[in-house]
Chain A
Amino acid sequence: MHHLFIAHSKFFITCVFLLQFLGIQNTTADTLSIAVASNFRSVMEQLSEAFNEQRGDNQVDHQINISSASSGILYAQILRGAPFQLFFSANESYPEKLVASGHGVADTLATYAIGTLVMVSRGEREVSEAKSPKEILSKAKRIAIANPRTAPYGIAAIEALESLGVAHERQPTLVVGNNIAQAWQFFHSDNVDVAIVAASLVNSVERIEKKYNSDVGLTGPDGKEKQQSLRIVDLSSYLKHPVRQGRVAIKPMLPLAQEFLDFMRTSVAEKIITEGGYLLPVPADTKSSMNAVIIPPIMSP
């Protein structure tokens, strides 16, 4: 019995030691974990790359982890204690709610980007010959949107369908992605003919294709290149409000998190955001200085 106890305690101590060792391994490097709404993921990846570059030589010992999902899913995870230090949502209300619940740092609350809702269809398909957005939607066999229960872009898509007067009629054709990236993937893999997504996703695909292929076109999931043009319709005018994306730091506030937020205000970062398909919010305190707002490049058909 005594021996057994010793054996057990040795085993226990080894376990504790191992766990601590693993824990130390994780925490020695300064780690910043960022939760980002799926629509902003590719921009966030570029931002973190630029941030690392800028930080460069003075402090190499840090690491940025990016997790993306729909804003509502990330919000729920943070409420349950997920270890994120920064949260970039696709709306303003989730960050506000986190401040109200005591998870968010109040003075880090801000709007970091204004997104554009677009409707995408394939150029050579019959559906794209339609003259109006309403007609495209009426001809579509399947329309991919993000889940309106957890994704602000899903709510925006429903709002656009409602103001176009087709929400009820087109309800059976809606295919709901777990987040906006999945809705876009449904379209990209050619399993739906129309998708209502954030302009940034369409932009990021164009960028990726340019990076890996000399010709711009969509590459299917099977790797086969498809020479296809996209028809993209801006749906902003069918929304009551633009999609304002808010962010907040999560307690406890890390110095590295503050550093990243400061970096977001630099011209380097702002250029990445606008090139990613977003508008910059006009800062409240500099409204009179009429900051130039760059209009994002949205592909024409």
Chain B
Amino acid sequence: MNLLTSDITALWLTLQLAAVTTVILMVVGAPLAWWLSRSTSRFASVVEATVALPLILPPTVIGFYLLIAFSPDNFFGGNWLALTGHSLAFTFSGLVVGSVIYSLPFVVQPLQTGFQHFDHKLLEAAETMGAGILDRFFNLIIPLTRRAFATAALLGFAHTMGEFGVVLMIGGNIPGETQVLSIALYDHVEALDYHRAHWLAGGLLVFSFVLLILLYGFNRHKLTNRVG
């Protein structure tokens, strides 16, 4: 049984992809969600719709456009090649780009909801007391919206773990580089290797379930704390 080598490589790769994607999304998503929660301009709804697009677009649409964008003949792919010396398609970096787009709404939307419920008078008060922007962000916004941050991070992480369609199109099934768990599982199923498929499928199921229990448990805990 060589369940271990290639499947553990896939597991490790998937965890790395989910972690890197989540970190990028938290950094990019937080200011974006803040702006969306505050802005009254019409342009904001266009941005909001763009952020939500990956929720309803088939992954094949994203995969197809990414594949075109990654081609060295195009602006994005060409410049990336010139800057880094290698193309984005079939690389870990390419998957990160795809995952950031694919999981964007799962991070931005919970944050936006959290920020909307945030009492902005508190910020003004803090400002009059001389708290700087970073001070206000780390000592006021984050503690008071930590539920939204936790939800965003967990959903972004879990959704990236479960990514399949986009990776199938831009990944190229390379062990250690782009062969994530869902692709390895698909590979096992299609090669009729049900034994290994069961391990991966069962593992992903348990993992996702535990993650959601943690998430809902955390939210419920906060709720009872507030009531009590």
Chain A residues in contact with chain B, CB under 8 A? 70, 72-73, 76, 79, 141-142, 144, 147, 149-150, 174-178, 186, 189-192, 220-222, 224, 226
Task: Determine the chain A residues whose CB is within 8 A of the CB of B174 once the complex forms.
Answer: 174-176
Check B71–A189 contact: CB distance below 8 A.
Answer: yes
Please name all residues of chain A whose beta carbon is closer than 8 Å to the beta carbon of B192 when the two chains form the complex: 76, 79
In whole angstroms, how far apart are the Cα atoms of A199 and B187 in the complex? 25
- Residues of B with C-beta under 8 A to A150: 187, 190-191
Return chain B residues, CB-CB under 8 Å to A174.
Answer: 174
> Which single residue of chain B is at the shortest CB-CB distance from A150?
B190
For the complex, is B31 an interface residue (Cβ under 8 Å from A)? no
Q: Decide: A191 and B74 in contact? CB cutoff 8 A.
A: no
Whether, in the assembled complex, B51 has its beta carbon less than 8 Å from a beta carbon of chain A, the answer is: no
Tell me, rounded to whole Å, the shortest Cβ–Cβ distance linking A226 to chain B: 8
Contact, CB under 8 Å: B173 / A147: yes
Interchain Cβ contacts under 8 Å between A and B, 19 examples = A70-B190, A72-B190, A76-B192, A142-B87, A142-B90, A147-B173, A147-B187, A149-B191, A150-B190, A175-B90, A176-B173, A177-B172, A186-B89, A186-B90, A190-B73, A220-B73, A221-B67, A221-B68, A226-B73
Q: How far is the CA of A220 from the CA of B73 in the complex (A)?
A: 9
> Are A178 and B68 within 8 A (Cβ)?
no
B13 nearest CB across to chain A (Å)? 15
Interface class of chain B by DSSP: loop
Cross-chain contact B73 with A224 (CB below 8 angstroms): yes
**Chain B residues closer than 8 Å to A76, beta-carbon distance:** 189-192
List the B side residues contacting A189 at CB < 8 Å.
67-68, 71
Contacts of A226 in B (CB 8 A): 73
A178 to chain B, nearest CB (A): 7
Tell me if A222 and B172 are in contact (CB < 8 A).
Answer: no
**Interface flag for B162 (CB, 8 Å):** no
- Per the bound structure, the CA–CA distance linking A176 and B191 in Å amounts to 15
Query: Whole-angstrom distance from the CB of B3 to the nearest CB of chain A?
Result: 15
Which residue of B is nearest A222, CB measured?
Answer: B68
Query: With the chains together, A120 CA to B191 CA distance in Å?
Result: 27
Note all chain B residues with C-beta closer than 8 A to A73: 190
Name B197-228 residues within 8 Å CB distance of A.
Answer: none
Contact across chains for B72 and A190 when beta carbons are under 8 A apart: yes
Please report the C-alpha to C-alpha distance between residue A226 and residue B71 in the assembled complex, in whole angstroms: 13
Find B173's partner among A72, A178, A191, A224 (CB 8 Å cutoff): A178
Please, how many angstroms separate the alpha-carbon atoms of A221 and B70 in the complex?
Answer: 12
Nearest CB of B to A81, in Å: 14
Chain B residues whose CB sits within 8 angstroms of the CB of A144 once the complex forms: 172
Contact A191 B190 (CB under 8 A): no
Contact with A along B85-107 (1 / 0, CB 8 A): 01101100000000000000000
A192 to B71, CA, bound (A): 9
Given A76-B189, A76-B192, list of 7 further CB < 8 A pairs?
A141-B86, A142-B90, A178-B168, A178-B173, A186-B90, A189-B67, A190-B73
Knowing A79-B192, A191-B89, the reply to whether A149 touches B187 (Cβ < 8 A) is yes
Taking the closest CB of chain B, its distance from the CB of A269, in whole angstroms, is 30
Give the residues from 112 to 127 in chain B that come closer than 8 angstroms, CB to CB, to chain A. none
Residue contact B67 to A191, C-beta cutoff 8 Å: yes
| Residue of A142, A190, A192 with highest tally of chain B CB at under 10 A | A190
Which positions 137-180 of chain B face chain A at CB distance < 8 Å?
Answer: 168, 172-174
| Interfacial chain A residues near B73, Cβ < 8 Å | 190, 220, 222, 224, 226
Q: Would you call A72 and B191 a contact (CB within 8 A)?
A: yes
Q: List 8 tightest A-B contacts by C-beta distance, closest first.
A: A175-B172, A191-B89, A176-B173, A149-B191, A73-B190, A190-B71, A175-B90, A221-B68
